[in-house]
Amino acid sequence: MNSYSVFLPSYSVGVDSYQQIPYVTRRYGKKAIVIGGKTAISKSKESILEGIKESNIEVLDFVWYGGNASYENVEALLNNIKVQNADLIFAVGGGRAIDTCKVVADKLDKPMFSFPTIASNCAACTAIAVMYNSDDTFNGYYYPKEPAVHTFINTNIIAEAPDNFLWAGIGDALSKQSEVLLATKEKNLSHTPLLGSQLSCACDEPLLKFSVKALEDCKKNIASYELEQIALDIIISTGLVSNLTSDAEKYYYNSSLAHCVYYGSTVVPACASHLHGEIVSFGVLCLLTYDKQFEKRDRIYEFNKSIGLPTCLDDIDVKKEDVAKMVKKMNGVTEWYCAPYEVTEENFIQAILETDEYSRNK
Ligand SMILES: [Zn+2]
């Protein structure tokens, strides 16, 4: 058997988590370059400078990442002399900014630290970057060798971000436990994915318990306990599971039928006005219907209702006659095969319509 390494994220969380920057980065160098989105940089700049002010860390510059996770933007950053001179890369922002930095850090073999400014997905601590072409079409995945060395979650900044990011992040995180448990069901799991599937069981309950309050607090910009629990669920729990359940070569249990519904929705133009996590949360209901987990389906249905996540086709602007076209698109994506049995188009169309029916009859 060949040897292998597993790199897992570590993190600091709280209103003053940036105070930990000097301690966490102390062995990696002194010159930092901050790369991120424009809004993200403006929201975090002061706190980052405050966090390092008593230390010998020097910020060489704050650089805009270019607006999209594209190889053109990666190239521009690789050619930036200050990026080349930095010992540390601070990746600031949402998924696309952080994903861009992952590629830059990997290519330069420099340590990267992530600073998510919204809690919308687990990009801050996963070892995968979703890359786009400059016209915004999907390009492919890039697999850096390691995730960020450390993730700093400043809950004040998360609380001040628009609450729809958190709302959609909840919808996306809601898929993790159901998808991983379905994808790993009846599988003989080796150590790493076994850990991942067990950890996925820590994803659902905090979402069901704290989301309502967390969303209220986000609207009021309050970094409450509940908001922190939700941010940790969205960024850290799902991120850990993702790192443990996907391997570029050996296995992929990280996602399943809920994300298929999202990929299917890309062929329906009206869906473009809905956020990724929004559509995925409807996909969770379809997955649970397909797998006949009706009790859990009903529970998630109530949850979605309680925070305004979609429960029927109307909610995501899909017409019944679009469903077959959507399922056709799903058949063939990696996630279509992440189930313990063969998924057929006919049965999945049926499951989607049944989910819709259930919701409309409530
Ligand atoms: Zn997702």
Rounded to the nearest angstrom, the distance between the alpha carbon of 175 and the centre of ligand 1 is 8
Average pLDDT, the chain: 96
Rounded to the nearest angstrom, the distance between the alpha carbon of 280 and the centre of ligand 1 is 7
- Residue 81: predicted pLDDT: 98
Structure tokens at 163: 């609450």
Q: How far is CA 39 from the centre of its chain?
A: 19
Rounded to the nearest angstrom, the distance between the alpha carbon of 156 and the centre of ligand 1 is 24
Residues 271-285: what's their mean pLDDT?
Answer: 95
Q: Over the stretch 20-50, which tens digit does the pLDDT of each residue have?
A: 999 999 999 999 999 999 999 999 999 999 9
- Residue 140: predicted pLDDT: 87
- Residue 280: predicted pLDDT: 97
Cα angle 332, 335, 336; round to 5? 50
Start-to-end C-alpha separation, the chain? 54
**Amino acid letter for position 325:** K
Residues 165-177: what's their mean pLDDT?
Answer: 97
Residues 268-288: what's their mean pLDDT?
Answer: 95
Q: What is the DSSP letter of 186?
A: T
Rounded to the nearest angstrom, the distance between the alpha carbon of 326 and the centre of ligand 1 is 17
**CA 36 – CA 112 distance, rounded (Å):** 12
Which residues neighbour 262 within 8 Å (Cβ) at sequence distance 6 or greater? 276, 279, 280, 283
- Residue 242: predicted pLDDT: 94
Rounded to the nearest angstrom, the distance between the alpha carbon of 275 and the centre of ligand 1 is 10
- Residue 138: predicted pLDDT: 81
Rounded to the nearest angstrom, the distance between the alpha carbon of 79 and the centre of ligand 1 is 31
Q: Do residues 153 and 17 touch, judged by C-beta distance below 8 A? A: yes
- Residue 332: predicted pLDDT: 86
Query: C-alpha distances in angstroms, 334 versus 72, 182, 317?
Result: 27, 14, 25
Residues 334-360: what's their mean pLDDT?
Answer: 96
Q: Is the pLDDT of residue 334 over 80?
A: yes
pLDDT grade for 2, boundaries at 50, 70 and 90: confident
Q: Is the pLDDT of residue 134 over 90?
A: no
Q: Over the stretch 97-131, which tens digit does the pLDDT of each residue have?
A: 999 999 999 999 999 999 999 999 999 999 999 99
Q: Is the pLDDT of residue 235 over 90?
A: yes
Rounded to the nearest angstrom, the distance between the alpha carbon of 277 and the centre of ligand 1 is 6
Q: Is the pLDDT of residue 269 over 90?
A: yes
Helix (H, G, I), strand (E, B) or coil at 66: coil
How many CB atoms are located within 10 Å of the residue 151 CB? 26
Query: C-alpha distances in angstroms, 246 versus 96, 147, 249, 255, 319?
Result: 20, 13, 9, 9, 34
Residues 247-253: what's their mean pLDDT?
Answer: 88
Query: Which residues on adjacent β-strands are paired with residue 56?
Result: none
Rounded to the nearest angstrom, the distance between the alpha carbon of 8 and the centre of ligand 1 is 20
